[in-house]
Amino acid sequence: MSNIITVNQNFFGNNLKIARLLNGLTLAELAEAIGTSRQYVHQLETSSRMPTGEQLGILAAYLKVKEDFFYVIPTSVLDDASIHFRSNRTAKQSSRIQAKVNVALFIRLVDLLSKYVNFPELNFPSADNIETNNDIERVAENARMYWELGFGPIDNMTQVVECAGAITTTFSGVSSEVDALSSVIKRPVIVRNDAKDSPGRLRFDIAHEAGHIIMHQDIVTGCKQTESQANRFASSFLLPRSSFIKEFRVGTRMDWKMVAALKERWGVSKAAILYRARQLDLLSESRYKGHVITLRKYEARKEKDDHLIALEHSELIPDAIDNYITAYGKTLDDLLNELHVDLELLNQILDFDASKYKSVEISDQIVPISRFMKK
């Protein structure tokens, strides 16, 4: 009789596929790494065959996961109606897939932490029957009133959506073809790619994804119309028309000092300011294009004043991990074991280095995420 031990039927092949994609590997690359065939790995991923106990250990070690990772019952289905991509139309399918599996792992982390902390209740307004640009302006203005933000500059766009119950993060290692994305499974998740470090664009991306969450629930996005609507929402939300019209001075020549001052005050890029001015017909199409050419000529790769806008980071997840460790007597290793991944994969889905929690001292004092709780 053979001494080979076969894993039982609780092994979920889709988890192997997720682990492979999290590592950016093709079927052929994984097969070569573990000394088997592409066809055999495919059979494992479709659960038509089970790995041996020895193979399971090899796969876990190579893919930076714990063996228990393969036994987690899949719960989230990231279909086209539940995930909104803000990406170039030429983005490769592999880039989208890699982003999706990062979201899947991040959702697992959020679900895990939800057992230990109370995240803010979902509090996004809803809107439908969006047909005109004026409808979108109204939706953006209503969202500001719903969240009691007034019509002045927003200090922290990330905090706005996190107070409303969304959770944000930044993914490393995902192609720059994918600018940002959001998922509406269970709890809204907004993801920003770290390939672009412009704080103004980050804020615009988050407002763009908030627009999807508010306007496009259960709607497949990514087409020209839905992306245009989300862009209009972001512009309208960050630069309300009543306030912007008062502050944007139109002259015979562009006042670039005025544009720089608006950028610092409102926390958006100069490109977004020009875009908004065109939307509100403060600039003609020809003048707008001319100013964009000038901007690209002198500030092509990165705008000069980006350092004047604070780079925003997620606060909910760092606070939740801190609470998990200090209030429950846990360690970073406990978190990794419960999530069934190694530190490298955890860091891949966070916008900070989780290694810092190795030195966190355990406290018997519960640390609530009070700054986000609704008063």
pTM: 0.82
The contacts of residue 117 (CB under 8 Å, 6+ apart) are 319, 320, 323, 324, 368, 369
Whole-angstrom CA distances from 17 to 29, 35, 45, 70 are 13, 17, 6, 10
Pair 4, 52: CB distance under 8 Å? yes
**How many other β-carbons are positioned within 10 Å of the β-carbon of residue 354?**
17
Pair 230, 216: CB distance under 8 Å? yes
Q: Which fold has domain 13-71?
A: 434 Repressor (Amino-terminal Domain) (1.10.260)
Taking Cα atoms as reference points, which of 57, 82, 87, 89 lies closest to residue 70?
A: 57
Beta-bridge mates of residue 167 = 189
pLDDT digit string, tens, across residues 52-110: 999 999 999 999 999 999 998 876 555 555 555 555 454 566 666 777 888 888 888 99
Pair 130, 230: CB distance under 8 Å? no
> What Rg do the C-alpha atoms of the chain give, in angstroms?
23
pLDDT digit string, tens, across residues 93-103: 666 677 788 88
Does the structure show a pLDDT above 80 at 6?
A: no
Parallel/antiparallel/unpaired status of strands 83-87 and 189-193: unpaired
pLDDT digit string, tens, across residues 158-213: 999 999 999 988 876 554 544 555 555 678 888 876 655 688 988 998 999 999 99
Q: Which DSSP letter does residue 168 get? A: E
| Domain spans of the chain, in order of start | 13-71, 83-308, 316-372
Number of DSSP helices (H) and strands (E) in the chain, helices first: 16, 4
